[in-house]
Amino acid sequence: MTRTRETPAAVLFDVDGTLMDTVPLHTVAWWEAFRQQGRTVAMSRIHRAIGMSSGHLLDALLGEDRPRDADGVVKAAHDALYAQYWSRLAPLDRAGDLLRACAGRGIRVVLASSASGPDADAMRKALDADDAIHAMTTADDVKAGKPAPDLVQRALEKSGSSAERAVFVGDAVWDAAAAGKAGVRCLGLLSGGGFSSEELRAAGAEAVYDSPADLLHRIDESAIGELAEAQGGI
């Protein structure tokens, strides 16, 4: 097959729940942050909202017609509570190996995280795969978070790739929605625990895998394998 060199191939990875085992930690942090403001929100609802930007999450859980004067306090409380876990953050099994497998096939790896600032830095440090990461984009780089396409589009820019030469990997319907709006193919993972295979597919994921380890095991028969073949990486 003729190698495609003009436009590099790229795999864009969500981080929370896709590469890092952090969704339950965010759930607990938001739950406690709400309680501190006298609001009771079921953890099951919070869990399914993780992956949205904080603004969209608050809209989904507290309603768009809520008084917004406490939003900053709630978010700050979440951030402070979640920061207590930074030194203990752990990647999902084989997550780093998955990134290295992509890079080893000549594909640029870009992290596309809804986290910001020190939170994003803590996850990247815990992931310990900088040797495979081409770039990272975070909430600090965009005006609108997922399910808006901005984060995916910014990750594409940093990769130097195009929508046709990229794949997005995420664990939430918000990831699939954002990828779809950006015209990027999406693979779903069940490792975040918030959504079923059927929900991810209905949101736009073309295939769903149990975990990073499962995707790594089947990488050459996946959309990532197709990118690598066209790139000449296998």
51 or 223, higher pLDDT: 223
Residue 5 pLDDT more than 60? Answer: no
What residue spans in the chain does CATH classification 1.10.150 cover? 23-84
What residue spans in the chain does CATH classification 3.40.50.1000 cover? 10-22+89-231
| Model pLDDT, residue 4 | 46
pLDDT for 96-120, tens place per residue? 999 999 999 999 999 999 888 889 9
Q: Give the confidence band of 81 by pLDDT, cuts at 50, 70, 90.
A: very high
pTM of the model: 0.93
- Token pair of 143, please? 């005006």
Residue 187 pLDDT more than 50? Answer: yes
Rounded Cα distance between 193 and 188, Å, is 11
Q: What is the mean pLDDT of the chain?
A: 93
Q: Name the CATH superfamily housing domain 10-22+89-231.
A: HAD superfamily/HAD-like (3.40.50.1000)
How close are the terminal C-alpha atoms of the chain, in Å? 10
5 burial type by CB count under 10 A (0-12 exposed, 13-18 middle, 19+ buried) = exposed
| Model pLDDT, residue 1 | 34
The CATH fold assigned to 23-84 is DNA polymerase; domain 1 (1.10.150)
Q: Give the confidence band of 3 by pLDDT, cuts at 50, 70, 90.
A: very low
pLDDT for 115-170, tens place per residue? 888 899 999 999 999 999 999 998 888 888 788 899 999 999 999 999 999 999 99
